[in-house]
Chain A
Amino acid sequence: MAKKKNDEKPIQYRCAGEMPPLPVSQGTMRVNKTASWRSIRPRIIKEKCKSCMICWKVCPEPCIAPTDPPEIDYDFCKGCGICIEECPFDAIVSEEEGK
């Protein structure tokens, strides 16, 4: 988690018109890169992949982009392995992290 700098002043709104449209803007937890939680790294074998998008569907993060073939965002993947377990074509393999 990125810490706030001490010299950073809190934002003050003078009128309602200056406030952002949503009280909490979308996706601010993206500062928290959860990649360090991972002990295994899923890797998609492009030759075996049929782009059925089941891995995109079951990713609880979500960090798999629905492209052809799907792309895993390794900044956020926690390595739970659901995509490896659910892939019907065995196109995702697990590799030990750091090797």
Chain B
Amino acid sequence: MCAEQAVKKKPVRLTLPEQEVMSPGHLACQGCGATLAMRYVLKSLGSKTIVSIPACCWAVIDGPFPYSAAGIPVYHCAFETAASTASGISRALSALGKTGITTLAWAGDGGTFDIGLQALSGAAERGENLIYIVYDNEAYMNTGIQRSSSTPHGAWTTTTPVKHYKKGPKKNIMEIMVAHHIPYAATANIAFPEDLVRKVDKAKAMRGTRFIHLYAPCPTGWKHAPSLTVKIARLATESNVFPLYEVENGVYKINRIVKNPKPVKDYLLMQGRFRHLTEDEVNRIQNEVNGQWERIVKLEQAFGNAPES
């Protein structure tokens, strides 16, 4: 309906594809980052996509059975089987001789970093023809903000309450996936949709297991105002908490080099889940972030250019 109205009026210049596969009326919280993530990804992939969704926020957002907000066929699978279900769908499509249909596995960070890791590892090792996208909101948000191995150091969750906040860094899923020698792995952020759509377009044109680590803030779990979702996501990249880079056949490339990174303190202060942190802890997180950024820069220097053949 929106598209029909758009045709009548004066056309405007858009930086993203105009097609809208996802429909309004879904059950996401106000200011949900995961919904924005799905919207941008489906703008790029189009309606010729089949998605497998394990237990995660998107299993709820999509709506109860006869209704669906995603606009594409959705397979609701068990928590640990996002990648293996997508493998089956992908193989069935190839057995039926159907081409031009993208298979997407769409899981949250719990279903990827913890529970779905073995299925994902198996699918990546077999080289299944699918796109795996993890939208990372840094805890089990759907079940009530429990800690996952994606939760960063210092964060409050219901299972790591204020006195016993999470100690220890976040699991580096990108390094795990790069170690599988998959053709394409990338990080993306909902605050940079043009970059995200470019990466999904690039992944769509390839074959094999392609992995995208997508950063999506959660106002409910991170305890910030719903209106700040995009602002916080942008700050995460501008302060190097979540750098944007891609690894194509083992070749590293940083997509966004921030010349004057903002202090991590700005990013932490905006979120209620970091409210209890002391000055020492903030400095420690800043050092961790600096170390992580230096590591990626070194990786790009070492494995940046394509080897001459």
Contact = CB atoms under 8 A, between A and B. Distances in A.
Nearest to A4: B66
B162 interface: no
B228 A85 contact: yes
A84 B230 CA distance: 11
B160 interface: no
B227 A76 contact: no
B30 A27 contact: no
Interface in B109-167: none
Interface in B160-191: none
A57 B227 contact: no
Interface residues of B, number: 50
Interface in B15-45: 15-16, 18, 20-28, 30-33, 35-36, 39
Given A30-B24, A62-B22, A81 B74 contact: no
A82 B67 contact: no
Interface residues of B: mostly helix, strand, loop or mixed?
loop
A71 B6 CA distance: 10
A51 B13 CA distance: 9
A67 B10 contact: yes
A32 B166 CA distance: 38
Interface string A14-47: 0000000011101111111110010000000000
Given A29-B67, A62-B39, A68-B12, A84 B227 contact: yes
Interface string A65-99: 11110010101101111101110000000000000
A14 B214 CA distance: 43
B14 interface: yes
A90 to B, nearest CB: 14
Interface string B224-247: 011111110000000000000000
A80 B217 CA distance: 14
Interface in B29-69: 30-33, 35-36, 39, 47, 62-64, 66-69
Most chain A Cβ neighbours within 10 Å, of B2, B13, B21:
B2
Given A30-B24, A62-B39, A76-B24, A82 B227 contact: yes
B49 to A, nearest CB: 11
A29 B69 contact: yes
Nearest to A85: B227
Contacts of B64: 1
19 contacts: A28-B23, A28-B67, A28-B68, A33-B25, A34-B24, A37-B30, A53-B14, A57-B15, A60-B33, A62-B2, A65-B2, A65-B5, A66-B14, A73-B2, A75-B24, A78-B30, A80-B219, A80-B229, A81-B225
Interface of A: 1, 4, 22-24, 26-34, 37, 51, 53, 56-58, 60-63, 65-68, 71, 73, 75-76, 78-82, 84-86
